[in-house]
Structure 1
Amino acid sequence: MGEFDLIERYFKRPARQAVLGVGDDCAILQPAPGTQLAISCDMLVEGRHFFPSVDPRALGHKALAVNLSDLAACGARPLAFTLALALPRADDAWLAPFSQGLLALADAHGCELVGGDTTQGPLNICITVFGEVPVLDGRSQALLRSGAQPGDDLYVSGTLGDAGLALEVLRGAVSVPAPVLDAARLRLESPAPRVALGLALRGIATAAIDVSDGLLGDLGHILKQSGVGATVDVDVAIKLIAARAYYSGAGGRFDTEPGRNQWLAWALAGGDDYELLFTAPASAREAVAAAGRTSQTPVTRIGHIDPARGLRLVDGQGQAVANTYTSFDHFA
């Protein structure tokens, strides 16, 4: 199978929203009047971002999901994406499920594939995604990292730490009962981009980011760009690890196996959660709750924004907790 046969068979589809899609030198997009384009790019490299044994259907899903998560954090509606794909060989048994997982998620979010590139080489997947953000009265409605204000509440969507737990188990560093791994692995390999929540938070959230490298590390980007500090309740954060329920049901003791500090590390610094971390005024609590209901996404208040810079961790009684947690950095 040649390069162009591969594109024709697995990735070429009729243009829908795009003026011109796959099959020409450039794609042509026409943003709606009164909107801005939001653009993000992510790369997944075999051995760095995923195991060689990963299900290709799940990998196709995740490759697009991590990009849609960036659009969600910006409050952007997905529009289109490009795919640059390096493959060791053109393998039908791999390409068929990969493209199915990729395009099923694309269809679910109305985000069409409009172009890209293919080449032979070590497995590498690079997606650039395009979204739309409205402009009202000359002002962009995009959610940014720079708008957090002292007194704002700090929220996170969904669950935390399960993907980090799964990664450690698959690396052989930790052993947990099979039901725990099954629940956590789904979060690692098939994250759910919180696009609907991002759209619902426009005009409510003051700042937002998606949690890809760990909650505390990504929170640090908001604090730096907003010029503020934050206090996080670790007892609330640790309860957001969904695998805890499976672990208890399997007979494990949460406080001792693998240990509270390890569970905290997954909740606060584990990567690949792809949840939304955002801030909103305390006066907007009902609006935030309504956004969660509208988008069918759980949201949890885990702390607040402080005028004094720096990150402070406390327990449920307000006692200080040492911050010894380091989030993921490719070059650290």
Structure 2
Amino acid sequence: MGESNESVSVDAEKIYLGGKEHLIRTVSGSVSVIVYGDPDKPALITYPDLALNYMSCFQGLFFCPEAASLLLHNFCVYHISPPGHELGAATICPDDPVPSLDGLADQIIEILNYFRLGAVMCMGVTAGAYVLTLFAMKYRERVLGLILVSPLCRAPSWSEWFYNKVMSNLLYYYGMCGLVTEYLLQRYFSKEVRGSSEVPESDIVRACRKLLDERQSANVSRFLEAINGRRDITSGLKRLRCRTLIFVGEHSTFHSEAIHMMSKLDRRYSALVEVQACGSMVTEEQPHAMLIPMEYFLMGYGLYRPCQFSDSPRSPLSPSCISPELLSPESMGLKLKPIKTRVALEDSD
């Protein structure tokens, strides 16, 4: 699909902890983007997993002072929500076509063109990681690097396809019912934080449960349908031009997917970090585990953490959990030039 510059933005009267929401009309429908930081800095775009938005998928990471200082010191952050997943979203008209994941990847280029962004850093979780990986394959010159959390790259297994179909039926007949919520929480978190009859569930799980209750079931179902129809993009991984950092929880439902993806990437430019005692959503469950690897990764682009946080916090990672490639200067791109803040795009005729 060719690049489009015809997007229209409506600035909502909503401010989220200093960020401003933009509703951008694209070929695949309207999409919410919440922008934090100085727009003259390099751009970091985020994309969440199924039924989540930036608040429920990335707030743990951005509320971690050391990680927030690293990211917000170096980037202007553009949080993209899947269609109908933003805070306060209305139900999408059932007559609107369900966008494919390819369509959602094309939607990102429209967002970048609206904000006049050049090449960007990308961070995605599970389904969002798939969308951003696909975007990086289709628009390689627009991606500086990928930070992927519990990513997907293959078509659904038979068991995943079946469970997704069951969840689709539950969403259709019962909405965001208890069974759907429990399935999603198992997708995101390890058993330790979900709790049991003896141990109460953690605060992050309770907060996520509350946010899931606010989701429009029809909107979640549309994104789920797109995810369940995804294609295998393994063959394109070797052609990625950008460096890639993958995080996956030891107890993630998609642990084998992350291992498979890492095995297909060019090991000179990629690294895998396995986080102990953690589920799929490392950004919420173990955000501190991401700090040191991200510091190494971003050093390759001439970026750094402000000196007031010179001492890295204690990390749940053990040395054996860090892939040797992560500590390789060549792998982390220490010879790369620093990220340019912005590339001017010529207006199309």
Normalising by structure 2, report the TM-score: 0.30
Structure showing greater Rg = 1
Q: Which has the higher helix share?
A: 2
